[in-house]
Structure 1
Amino acid sequence: MQELRRRLGVWDAVVVGLGAMVGAGVFAVFAPAAEIAGSGLLVGLAIAAVVAYCNATSSARLAAVYPESGGTYVYGRERLGPFWGYLAGWAFVVGKTASCAAMALTVGAYLWPDHKNVVAVAAVVALTTLNYFGVQKAAWLTRIIVAVVLVLLAVVVIVSLTADDARYGRLELGREGAGGILQAAALMFFAFAGYARIATLGEEVRDPSRTIPRAVPLALGISLITYAAVAVALLVILGAERLGDSPDPLAEAVRVAGLAWLVPVVRVGAAIAALGSLLALILGVSRTTLAMARDRHLPSGLAAVHPKYHVPHRAELAVGAVVAIVAATTDLRGAIGFSSFGVLLYYAIANASAWTLQRSEGRPPRAVPVLGLVGCLGLAFALPWPSIVVGLGVLSLGAVAYRLRSTR
């Protein structure tokens, strides 16, 4: 079996995770979360962060034991049995395909709203081509994107918090119900799922037993600090109602702060962030596709590794083609809900797998996988019902396909 080349260090892996999380979280989920939960989105953010921490800890311990491409697909297969590994992989590939489409559409919405689908497809083609020629090049580009976006977000936060129209009383909780807060938490979990990219790169990082457990919490911690700062700034300058109604809340924030000249800069920064997220997402989905193809749960031809560039080139091309098609036909908020459902079930299986680890294998404290499992299932079924129904339907199709294949 051909193997991928181990090139990435700790900070390379952290940057890949940040590229997936920062773009998704800051520019895609705060508006729908505010629409549902008002200022209670801050509570939802905290809930999502706790669940993400449990998932990250479980994933990091498992990745150290199984340092190969595939993430929870591999962990579920090895710890719970082939079907659970397959179901995790199926949930990840399907859910993250929706995530890729959402990020591509975000690029289009900010750069050329009237032709967002065309721009989205072009972005998918460009980044798939980049990934084809090697993960190291992709990691360097992601590093640049993350640096630019973090600087831009720092400017937006400072401008918003110091503006004349800033009202800190807008941070007070209203009468948001628990259901709305949980639903907001489930949507915002979409923004924290980027650390999965680190685990799916297990076969491409140096010294994975040391690198992955260090990279995952670092990426998660940096993202949480960033999200909290931006969420507070947006609520202070816009208020929950205006934030919920805004299609481009960060651009709206600097406009309200009286710095209209910053609006184009924020729009370009949003597109750059979404591109970074899309880059990392395509990278992760293609690696899980590679692992499933190796086990013949997907066409075995997708398991090929390019002899020169040492990447799963056929898997990357296939993923890019599917994402391009979805990006031409999907709705951004619906894609976020569907993606969250699939990824939450994916991490539920990761936590169940971590529960089976022995102390000699670096088992996390027992409360971590239990809280992660309960949290993932609770948030998954707190999502809007269309996301739940469609998610269950797609997962059922995958389960039927697995059963038919096993029977044959």
Structure 2
Amino acid sequence: MSAPAALARRLGLVDAIAIGLGSMIGAGVFAAFTPAAAAAGSGLLIGLAIAAVVAYANATSSAQLAAQFPTSGGTYVYGREMIGPWSGFFAGWSFVIGKTASCAAMALTFASYAAPAGWEKPVAVAAVLVLAAVNTVGVTRTATLTKAIVVVVLAVLALVVVAASASGAGSADNLAIAAGPHGWYGVLQSAGLLFFAFAGYARIATMGEEVRDPRRTIPRAIVIALSLALLVYVAIALVSLAALGPERLAVSTAPLAEVAAAGGWTWTAPVVRIGAAAASLGALLALVAGIGRTSLAMARTGDLPHWLSAVHPRYAVPHRAELVLAVIVSLLIVATDLRSAIGFSSFGVLLYYLIANIAAFRQDAAARRFPRALQIVGMIGCVALVATLPWPSIVGGVVVACVGIGYRALRLRRGGSAAA
């Protein structure tokens, strides 16, 4: 049997940082702060700090593993190599289902800002299909478009901060940290929801087969992208709470537009809407790329149909996996409203990183770049945040995870994979 076709190494450090940063900022700033405020009030600042600590621990585990295993698939590959095939499958399945829901949520978020009333779902489907087409003609085009989107989004976020700060309409009293109506449970729940905003660095690790000098580039890109995203989140969280207060922030459908206009800068609203649409597109673009690479890795080992392991002979991308993903996401958009899918996505991604931390903990001294204590922090953090997510997200996540486990068990029973 011939070896599977390899992907082309075309991404440099700036490309990798842009893909991770575009994913995180797109999801976090425009999607996660409102439900976090509803869960924790001004205590979301504590939740943000907790989410950042857990994300950093997970990021160092991912960076350490990616340096040892510079191939597509991320924790799916790391779990297989360091723990066993079942652990790898569980990580890969958790990533795919969580991020597929995120794709639909980001497409609908884009449409809510960009589409006329009543046209949200058709526009969301169109966005998915167009960006899937962009991905299938080459990863360098994906990175180029993502960098352009990141520049636009950062400029808009800077406008929000300046508008909110210069107006003087905010109140420092709104920044008084309190645990909120649900106490520390709500704070931890907000951390789990805000973790969704940090998960973009996973896309860097899943594209390890396309990065130049991956043992050096991937760890640096993950840490830099995470640090930059955290600085942006802290600034936006502070101005949002100061300008709107936790109660108003918790119910806002377009919080950053309200923040920018709070002091009378009403002309900023359409600009912020454009930025929100661009951020959602950036997140969606990187999500499609990352899920495609994980699906490619799973198909290569038989955990998904082998047909999905094809790499385009000209553009060197997993075109079948990405096109199938686009169809599934489009069906989800048509069938249901996934704007509330953040909790479900966090459930899958946190389990994905739980496996990453366990795998990194098992690495030997030669491969170790960070102390084992960080992996312990990551494991404990992942379990704690999963346990405090909204219960419908937990129930839905458990059901879909069991479906995947049952599928693999049936496949192995029928002799569908030799790499059990």
Q: TM-score, normalised by structure 1?
A: 0.99
* SS of 2:6 mapped into structure 1: coil
* SS of 1:157 mapped into structure 2: helix
Which of residues 101, 105, 108 in structure 2 aligns to 1:105? 108
Which of residues 92, 97, 101 in structure 2 aligns to 1:94? 97
Change (3 A) 1:71 1:363: same
> Do the aligned residues in 2 keep the contact of 1:120 with 1:328 (CA within 8 Å)?
no
* SS of 2:177 mapped into structure 1: coil
Q: Map 1:253-332 to 2 at 5 A.
A: 253-332=259-338
Q: Deviations over 1:9-31 (max 9, x none)?
A: 11100000011000000000101
**2:131 paired residue number:** 127
Q: Deviations over 1:248-275 (max 9, x none)?
A: 0011112222111110111011000100
* SS of 1:4 mapped into structure 2: coil
**2:201 paired residue number:** 195
* SS of 2:108 mapped into structure 1: helix
* SS of 1:184 mapped into structure 2: helix
Aligned: 1:41 with 2:47 = no
Structure 2 letter corresponding to 1:197: R
> Do the aligned residues in 2 keep the contact of 1:101 with 1:330 (CA within 8 Å)?
no
**2:121 paired residue number:** 117
Structure 2 letter corresponding to 1:189: F
Structure 2 letter corresponding to 1:349: I
CA distance in 2, matches of 1:349, 1:333: 27
Structure 1 residue 36 displacement after superposition:
1.2
Structure 2 letter corresponding to 1:245: V
Which of residues 196, 219, 222 in structure 1 aligns to 2:225? 219
The worse-fitting range, judged by mean Cα deviation, of 248-257 and 350-359 is 248-257
**1:167 paired residue number:** 171
* SS of 1:239 mapped into structure 2: helix
CA distance in 2, matches of 1:169, 1:317: 50
The worse-fitting range, judged by mean Cα deviation, of 164-173 and 99-108 is 164-173
> Do the aligned residues in 2 keep the contact of 1:74 with 1:85 (CA within 8 Å)?
yes
> Do the aligned residues in 2 keep the contact of 1:183 with 1:383 (CA within 8 Å)?
yes
**2:186 paired residue number:** 180
CA distance in 2, matches of 1:197, 1:91: 14
**2:65 paired residue number:** 62
Which of residues 384, 389, 401 in structure 1 aligns to 2:407? 401
Structure 1 letter corresponding to 2:172: Y
* SS of 1:310 mapped into structure 2: coil
Structure 1 letter corresponding to 2:78: Y
Which of residues 143, 154, 159 in structure 2 aligns to 1:139? 143
Change (3 A) 1:154 1:67: same
CA distance in 2, matches of 1:319, 1:46: 33
CA distance in 1, matches of 2:74, 2:412: 22
**1:74 paired residue number:** 77
* SS of 1:284 mapped into structure 2: helix
> Do the aligned residues in 1 keep the contact of 2:347 with 2:397 (CA within 8 Å)?
yes
Which of residues 238, 243, 252 in structure 2 aligns to 1:246? 252
* SS of 2:370 mapped into structure 1: coil
> Do the aligned residues in 1 keep the contact of 2:179 with 2:186 (CA within 8 Å)?
no
Which of residues 348, 354, 360 in structure 2 aligns to 1:348? 354
**1:150 paired residue number:** 154
> Do the aligned residues in 1 keep the contact of 2:101 with 2:338 (CA within 8 Å)?
no
* SS of 1:196 mapped into structure 2: helix
Structure 1 residue 175 displacement after superposition:
4.5
* SS of 2:90 mapped into structure 1: helix
Structure 1 letter corresponding to 2:11: L
Which of residues 208, 232, 235 in structure 2 aligns to 1:229? 235
CA distance in 2, matches of 1:35, 1:163: 25
- Structure 1 gaps of 5+ residues are none
Change (3 A) 1:389 1:365: same
Q: Deviations over 1:281-337 (max 9, x none)?
A: 000000000000000111101100001111111011011111111122333443111
> Do the aligned residues in 1 keep the contact of 2:161 with 2:260 (CA within 8 Å)?
no
CA distance in 1, matches of 2:49, 2:168: 28
**2:389 paired residue number:** 383
CA distance in 1, matches of 2:382, 2:16: 24
Q: TM-score, normalised by structure 2?
A: 0.96
Structure 1 residue 196 displacement after superposition:
0.2
CA distance in 2, matches of 1:234, 1:248: 11
Q: Deviations over 1:206-261 (max 9, x none)?
A: 01000001000000000000000001010111111111110000111122221111
RMSD, aligned CA: 0.9
CA distance in 2, matches of 1:237, 1:114: 31
The worse-fitting range, judged by mean Cα deviation, of 152-161 and 329-338 is 329-338
CA distance in 1, matches of 2:173, 2:340: 32
